[in-house]
Amino acid sequence: MAEKLGVGVTLPGASSPAQAAALGARAEAAGCDAVWVLDVRRDPYLLSAAVAGSTSRVAIGTNVAVAFARSPTVTAAAAWDLALWTGGRFVLGLGSQVGPTLKARFGVTADRPAARMRDYVTAVRACFQSFRKGYGGYDGEFYSIRRPAFQPGAEALDHDPPIYVAAVNPLMAQVVGEVGDGLAAHTFITEDYIREVLLPALQSGAAREGKPRPPVLLQMLVAPSREAASAQMLAYVVPGYRRVLDHAGLGEVADRVMEAIREGRRAEARQLIDQHLLDRLAIVFGADPESLGAALERWRPHAERLSLSVPWFGTDQAEQAAHFERVLQGLAKLH
C-alpha cells in the first residue's frame, strides 16, 4: 500500500471541488498518506475543503498556494479552519511564484521574495496565535496586521498547521530553514541540486535558529509519455528555475530552449527538453507498479515525503483525471 511507502498524491490541476472530493477518497482508499492540491486553476483552499469532507485519515495540504496573492490573515484563517475541520490533518504549503506569473495571474508584484516570505510566514504564525488567544496582531517588515481576530474569542486547536514553503534558490531555502516546518521541492530539480544546493541552505537556515533541519517534500511528475512530460516542463524553463540547469552544466541548453519558446518554436523546445533534461528531473514515465517503484526508490533518499502528480500544462481535464486514476492503481499494487 502507498501509505506504507510514505507516498502522497497531488490532485490534477483542473479538478473541480466535486472531483477533488471523489479523487481524494480514492487516494485514501488506495493507501496514500497525503493528498495535495495545486494552485494553478481552482482555489486551493476550497479544493482542500472538498478533500477534507470525503476523507478521514490522509494528510491534506496545498502544494503550494501562492502566498503573495493573499494577505497573511486570509491565508491563516483558511489554514486554521481547515486544521479545525480535519482534526489537525491540514498542511499549509506556500510559494512565492515567479514574479512575471504573479503579475500576470493576480495583478500584484512582490519585491524581495525571500525576505518577504520570511515576514509572511511569521505573520501567518502570529495570526494563528491571535486565533488561539482571541486577540493579538503583528508588525513586521512587510506586513502590519492590527486585528486578525476581528471577532474576539479564544479558540482551541491542538497544534498550529505546519507550514511548508517552496524553494528553488538557496536564499529561499535558508528562509525555509529559519521559519518553515518543511521545504516543498519542485519536480524541476536534479538529485545533485537537492544534495549540493537545497539541503545545505536549508540546514544553514535551521542552524541559524537553533533547530533541526525541516523535512523535504518532493513533488514528482508521473507522465504518461515523454511528450506529455516535455510539454509540462515548458512551463518551468524560465529564469526563475534556470539555476537548476546551470548547476547541472546545462545552461547552454536552457538558453536554446528559452530562445525557441520566445520565437514560437515550441516543438523544438520540447525536443530539447526531451533530449537533455527529462531523465535528470523528478519525472516518472508510466504509472505501472514497476516504473513507480523504481522512481520512488531513486528519489526516496533525497526527501522525507514524496508526492506523485500528473501533467496539467497542455493536458485536458479528462486526460488528467484518467491518468491520475492510473497512478492510484499503480500505487495500490505496490507492496
pTM equals 0.95
With 0-12 / 13-18 / 19 or more C-beta atoms within 10 angstroms meaning exposed / middle / buried, residue 15 is buried
Mean pLDDT of the chain: 95
Cβ-contact 193, 175 below 8 angstroms? no
Question: How confident is the model over 210-222, as pLDDT tens digits?
Answer: 999 999 999 999 9
**CATH number of the domain bearing residue 243:** 3.20.20.30
Work out the average pLDDT over 156-184: 97
Residues 6 or more apart whose CB falls under 8 angstroms from that of 249 comprise: none
Alpha carbons within 13 A on the beta-carbon side of 315: 28
How far apart (Å, rounded) are the C-alpha atoms in residues 174 and 170? 6
Please compute the mean of the pLDDT values over residues 84-109 and round it to a whole number.
95
Contacts of the segment 194-198: beta carbons below 8 A, 24+ positions apart: 194/218, 194/302, 194/303, 195/302, 196/247, 197/170, 197/173, 197/243, 197/247, 198/167, 198/170, 198/173
Q: Tell me: the pLDDT tens digits for 133-145?
A: 999 999 999 999 9
- Please tell me the predicted confidence (pLDDT) of residue 207: 98
Nine cell digits for residue 278: 527529462
What's the CA dihedral at 234, 102, 48, 125 to 10 degrees? 130
Domain count, the chain: 1
pLDDT at site 334:
84
Residue 216's domain comprises 2-332
- Place 1 in a pLDDT band, splitting at 50, 70 and 90: very low
pLDDT(335) > 80: no
Alpha helices, H only, the chain:
2-5, 17-29, 44-54, 72-86, 99-106, 113-133, 170-179, 191-193, 199-208, 226-233, 242-247, 251-262, 266-276, 289-299, 317-332
DSSP conformation class of 197: I
Tell me the Ramachandran region of residue 112: left when phi exceeds 0, alpha when psi lies from -120 to 50, beta otherwise: left
The three cell numbers locating residue 302:
533525497
pLDDT digits (tens, 9 = 90+) for 257-316: 999 999 999 999 999 999 999 999 999 999 999 999 999 999 999 999 999 999 988 788
DSSP string, 137-167: -EE-SS-EES-S-SS------SSPPPEEEE-
